[in-house]
Amino acid sequence: MLKITWRSLLKNKLTFGLNLLGLAVGMAAFLTIAQYMKFELSYDQFYGDADRVFRVNTFWSIDGEEERYATAPPPLAEVIREEIPEAEAVCRVFYWSDFTMRPENDFENAYRETEVYAVDESFFEVFDFGLIEGDPKTVLSEPTSVVLPRSAAIKYFGKEAVERGNIVGRRIMGGKDAGTPWTITGLMEDQPANSHLQFEFLVSANSYPDDLYRNQIWSWNVMHTYLRVSEKAVAEAGWKAQLEELLDQIVDKYALPFMDQGVAEFRNSGNRMEYLLQPLTDIHLTSNYLREMRPNGNMTYVKVFGLIALLTIFIAGINFVNLATAQASRRAREVGVKKVMGASRPLLIRQFLAESMVVSGLAAGLALIFTKGLTRLTGNLLDVSFLESADWSSMGLIAAGLWLVVGFLSGIYPAFYLSWFRPAEVLKGQHRSGWSDTAIRNGLVVFQFVLSIGLITASLVIKKQVDLFQDKQLGFTKEQVVVIENDREIEERGPAFKEELRRHPDIIQASFSNGIPGLNTYQRRDFKKEGDEVSWGVDWYQIDEDHLETLEIELQAGRNFRAGTSADSTGLILNEAAVAYLGLDKPIGKYLIKNEGTEDEERLEIIGVVRDFNLESLHHKVKPLAIQYFQGFVFKDYITVRLAAGNPRAAIDHIEKSWQAFEPGVPLRYGFLDVRYDQLYKGETRLANVFALFTGLAIFIACLGLFGLITFVVARRTKEIGIRKILGASTQSILQLLSRDFLLLVGIAFLIAAPLSWWAMQRWLENFAYRIELHWWMPLLAGLAASLIAVITISLRSWSAARANPVDGLRDE
């Protein structure tokens, strides 16, 4: 039977080739997306007992305003440790600042480390992964202890030292003057790419001041807090609800009293404050809260990619069915002869199914070849290196599954349809395809183009939304701004450094601040009006007198900070959202109390109001913001430098030379603000790129099927075309004749796809605080694009038939 099957396939080379290519491309798209989905769904699964590890998030709902934090206050971890026995281990993870580091044996070789996290000594009790050397219980117990991942250890001391085990006990010198020794107490494996925790160094939390790690400020949500729940606890029904009830008791006992909130009054007012447990393995795809460590993935997008994978393989299967049934008139005589010679219907069904399985099997093999290139391309578009972690053995199993499923499902209808022909009718030439056959084929073509038009519409809307992100007026100017990440290197010499930078004609202005637009997290302070009882949490950072000019932020009222004015050290600038949030009328000259009852309590005079500008992404509305004068270098700070338009290279060279003059031997780390800010939309940009790629593949597969169908239409109507040409029909009229029915199907597909795609994209746009308006022309443009693609596909095959000599088509008569 295999020999007969192969001969039959070669006899119908065009159909064989179109089916093989369509199925191979569809399967390759499916395999690539499946590999990406597997990568995304595998985040943080590699930790030991990952299903028992949770992050504690903070939820606030006050006066109808909701906020969700990926962080919790510093004292919460210790209280959980003492009052919740079900938590067998608790640890905090906190990003402090950048570090300039040098190996102890090579002071000339300096590195700027930007992924350094301070963690509690219980870190490896919560995250059971990768420790090669060191005791997990004590490796982070002493001050200035460091655990290095393997790649960092190789960078500082070389591969040979790592392989010989000559790392633990050595020192790395920190600070611009290499004056702070850090002792390496442990060596661990690098974090896999599918971890939401990415770091270059882990340092002991008790290396830092007590007022940071042992303070009792319950309103300061700055530390990522994780806990491992005991195995005994998770075995009990309803354990999670019981644990969150204990966390609610902690809120009532500690957090609300600290914030001068009466528990009963707070609850009765409809307000809520909760500490919620989020499974570690859910963080990457279901968490997009304030103060995430980095932008996470999105489960909705993973589901969308999965849907695209199914649709693509489905379109390829539709092609197979359509092309097989379209050949009915050609293969009817073959079926009739075989039946007369004694072939039973089950035997013919097996033969046609065998043809389908052979084509599907060859396509699966070809798909594995295509997948490698498509995976690399998709990885580049997504900026995710999941090719390295690709499991080709499992991919082979998926390909084998696709071979069996697609081969059987695609072949079952054509097999039963073709084997049904009656030999007496087909041998007399009396067999005609019924209206139901044509209706099924037309319905499948319509379905293909419904999917194609929907995908084109979605690609267009996503692209327009990404363009909005990149082009919207943000309230500040992000272009031509260089951001230098300053790890307190340039401190008291800041004014001299700015003056040196401004000497270059292509540098307009420079400023210092401890915050810039586009960060993952911002510090927060509590503010209240004098005489009020309640404080309100407001985003906060410090700037110097040149910051507003550097970023071109507009003052709405009052004035900017002034250098050398001692009174401005207690001055405050608010944005318009903060003025409304705090209920201030004519705010200039009024006073606010910052962090009442704490060591850094201050009475601040409002000297200015700036127009709202987007610190965060356009997923969120502008939040209240309070700005103080830049005085200290306690936290990480930034130097922003505005360049003149044009070629920035000369200005960059001047920045690099100035830095080395002020800080010789210290690495300079800088980037452009617009690039940094646009990283906030990496998820949407990735979606747009990949959506466009797989939309193109789906349309390509649909066009293969359309090309095959028009080929059979032309073959069946060859004599009709010849007669029409003899009677004077023009080439244009022949093209119209052949394309009319197919364009009608595209029109029907548009009428179905337009409202569906409109509804789907309206739902997607609801995820954004700032979004484009859907217009009637978007699905119309998608329909016109699909029609144009169909016309081009049909014309490629119809042109030769319309131009052919009619005598050739009538010669057999």
For residue range 281-320, list pLDDT tens digits in order. Answer: 999 999 888 888 887 888 888 888 888 888 888 888 887 7
Helix (H) or strand (E) holding 671: strand 670-672
What predicted TM-score, i.e. pTM, was given to this entire model? 0.80
**The residue type at 83:** E
Residue 539 tokens, joined: 């985003």
Which DSSP symbol is given to 503?
T
Cβ–Cβ under 8 Å, residues 156 and 104 = no
Do residues 592 and 571 make contact, with C-beta atoms less than 8 angstroms apart?
no
Instruction: Report the alpha-carbon distance of residue 804 to residue 101 in Å, rounded.
Output: 77
Residue with tokens 């190996």: 103
Residue of 176, 181, 233, 192 whose CA lies nearest to 52:
233
| Cα separations in angstroms, 299 against 43, 683, 746 | 12, 11, 32
Output 772-777 pairs: Cβ under 8 A, ≥24 positions apart: 772/461, 772/464, 772/465, 772/468, 774/461
**Average pLDDT of the chain?**
83
> Which letter, b or e, does each residue of 205-230 get, where b requires 16 or more Cβ atoms within 10 Å of its Cβ?
bbbeeeebbeeebbbbbbbbbbbbbe
Mind listing the pLDDT tens digit for each residue in 203-225? Answer: 998 887 665 566 778 888 889 99
pLDDT value at residue 151: 94
Regions of the chain with pLDDT less than 70: 1-12, 14, 209-214, 324-345, 348, 383-392, 413-438, 632-635, 712, 715-718, 725, 797, 800-813
Q: 755-792 burial by CB neighbour count: b if 16+ within 10 A, else e?
A: eebbeebeebbeebebbbebeeebbeebbebbbebbbe
Distance CA 681, CA 713 (A): 47
In angstroms, the first-to-last Cα distance of the chain is: 36
Residue with tokens 């071979």: 403
Query: Which residue type is seen at 184?
Result: I
The β-bridge partners of 204 are: 119
What pLDDT is attached to residue 140?
Answer: 93
> Which residues are CB-neighbours of 659 under 8 A, at least 6 positions away?
484, 666, 668
Q: Supply the pLDDT for residue 343.
A: 61
pLDDT given for residue 624 in this prediction: 93
CA 183 to CA 619: how far, in whole Å?
42
Going from N- to C-terminal start, the domains of the chain cover 97-207, 456-474+685-813, 490-665
Of 250, 232, 217, give the one whose Cα is nearest residue 56: 250
User: Looking at 256-311, which runs of residues are DSSP E strands?
Assistant: 272-279
